[in-house]
Amino acid sequence: MRLPHATDLTGVDVALVGVPFDSGTSYRSGARLAPREIRAQSSLIRPYSYFLKVAPFDDRLVVDAGDLDVPPAGSIDHAYGVIEAGLRRIVQAGAVPIVAGGDHSISLPILRAIAEKHGPVSLVQFDSHIDTWGDYFGGRHFHGSPFRRAIEEGLIRSPQYVQVGIRGPMYGEAEDFAFQNAHGVVMIDIGAVKTDGIARTVERIRSIVRGPVYVTFDIDSVDPAFAPGTGTPEVGGLTSYEAQTLVRGLAGLDLVGCDVVEVAPQFDGPGQITSLLAANLMFELLCVIALKGRSSRG
């Protein structure tokens, strides 16, 4: 978005930051290259949101905080430490982070930094997968488990946690849903979204969350036609227009942080439409943050 690059975070309202890490991926890796490509595609974005009637750069000091220097190889715990430290710095400076992933495993250390400042938060998760699975190959951390860990660590208030766009693949009712049912997590599957429509879905989301809210947008919630550049694509998803409208529907909520994850540029075509969509969703999230305090989408 042609933003000033900043290392000094004093007075910054919103900080965009890249987390080029994909060693939490279970299938096709590649999300580590997303921050670079999302930046490239963001050069088409202009400063005004016609649909939300807001010019976020006019009212807020927004900076590009660059990419965190995450070790790409080695131990995921080590990487988690670097990510948490990087986000802590942003959050403690009073800025709201908008993170470009990386795979979905990065949401856990981000939430650790967020909760340290704000206490347990509401969570809105746009995703095709529940990502509340348990261990994987004997390890506790991968891109399918961050929100189970976040609940276990008390980082999110689970009855104010809503998953939107879920569709699969799955192992069975018991295997997949026992944990989140036990914690009161609300799931709005893709069938519900398509049948009820976006406006009613927005209402449902807004009725569930309260207080400080974290939004995590897994690009694979969107259909592979609109977002082919991702590691674990799931057919039958959101359109890009639905995705934009859902995010715009969050205007007025108290967003304290957000991420857009699982973009994998090498599976995109030459038009790089997935990175372009991610850049646009980051802009929509920025507008939502700039509109904080407004009671509903205008």
- Edge to edge, the sheet with strand 254-261 lists 62-67, 14-18, 96-100, 254-261, 212-218, 121-126, 156-166, 186-189
**Exposure class string for 236-259: b at 16+ Cβ within 10 A, else e:** ebbebebbbbbbbbbbbbbbbbbb
CB 292 within 8 A of CB 254: yes
The smaller minimum CB distance to its own copies, of residues 78 and 210, is found at 78
The smaller minimum CB distance to its own copies, of residues 91 and 126, is found at 126
Backbone phi, psi, residue 222, to 5°: -80, 150
Q: Which residue has the tokens 């004997």?
A: 138
**Choices 116-124, 151-159, 208-216, 267-275; region in contact with its own copies by CB under 8 A:** 267-275
Residue 9 interacts with its own copies (CB under 8 A): yes or no: no
The smaller minimum CB distance to its own copies, of residues 62 and 121, is found at 62
Window 70-129: residues binding its own copies (CB under 8 A): 71-78, 105
The smaller minimum CB distance to its own copies, of residues 12 and 193, is found at 193
Q: Shortest gap between Cβ of 60 and its own copies (angstroms)?
A: 15
Residue 4 interacts with its own copies (CB under 8 A): yes or no: no
- Measured between alpha carbons, how far is 91 from 87 in angstroms, rounded to an integer? 6
Question: How many chain residues bind its own copies (CB under 8 A)?
Answer: 81
Q: Shortest gap between Cβ of 124 and its own copies (angstroms)?
A: 19
Residue 49 interacts with its own copies (CB under 8 A): yes or no: yes
Largest CA distance in the chain: 50
Window 198-257: residues binding its own copies (CB under 8 A): 223-226, 228-230, 232-237, 239-241, 244
Residue 13 interacts with its own copies (CB under 8 A): yes or no: no
Cα-to-chain-centroid distance, residue 194: 21
**Choices 10-18, 106-114, 172-180, 206-214; region in contact with its own copies by CB under 8 A:** 172-180
- Measured between alpha carbons, how far is 7 from 65 in angstroms, rounded to an integer? 6
